[in-house]
Chains A and B, each alone.
Chain A
């Protein structure tokens, strides 16, 4: 069974750094893209970016390029989303999600979400 298990909720102050994680299991981690989706409170879904852990090919939405960093550690089947300096506007639920094999397209499997709250 494919599972994506995300790290727990975080409460941070503006300017702090943060790295959240998404651990994949039940499939070959290096053979599938894995992406990140933001959902701000009461709002819709926003596609942030995606990484192919097999070769670390990473693609960002222009809206998120330079604002976050997506990475993966294939030795522990884990993808990451990180910020160097959080803003209050980064407060949101963040989901990792995995497309089917061979495509960075639609998301077939989703993590449970990580709630990030940024407040002074």
Chain B
């Protein structure tokens, strides 16, 4: 299985400041034939299902504010919130969807983002 490791486990950032969450995969999730990174980011607020933010490592889902951005390639990825808003308090997960059979599209353990 591809193991996804996020850092830090929790993060406190002041309103208006930048928040950065890292995700590292145990093997590359870059598919050379199409040069795409099979990596997504989700946001989960308390009592709600996860919400897709980013796919293909850097493509923002429709309706997601542009303060959210994804970057990275291969095994190292970053989710950045450029200017933290109160409504961004949540747990954030990365997920790889690269694995060939048996498919195990593993998630990272999650990063809890709070307001400082």
Taking a contact as CB atoms under 8 Å apart, the answer to whether B103 and A44 are in contact is: no
Residues 50-68 of A contacting B (Cβ, < 8 Å): 50, 59-63, 65
- Nearest A residue to B50 via CB reads A110
Taking a contact as CB atoms under 8 Å apart, the answer to whether A45 and B93 are in contact is: yes
In the bound complex, what is the Cα–Cα distance between A20 and B113 (angstroms)? Answer: 32
Which stretch (A11-19, A23-31, A77-85, A101-109) binds chain B?
A101-109
Question: Which residues of A have CB within 8 Å of B68?
Answer: none
Number of A-B contacts (CB under 8 A): 66
Size category of the A interface is 20 to 34
Closest Cβ of chain A to B39, distance in Å, is 8
Question: Which residues of B have CB within 8 Å of A45?
Answer: 42, 44, 50, 93, 95, 107, 110
Which residues of A are at the interface with B, using a C-beta cutoff of 8 A?
A: 37, 44-47, 50, 59-63, 65, 95, 97, 103-108, 110-113
Which residues of B are at the interface with A, using a C-beta cutoff of 8 A?
A: 1, 38, 40, 42, 44, 49-52, 55, 61, 91, 93, 95, 97, 101-110
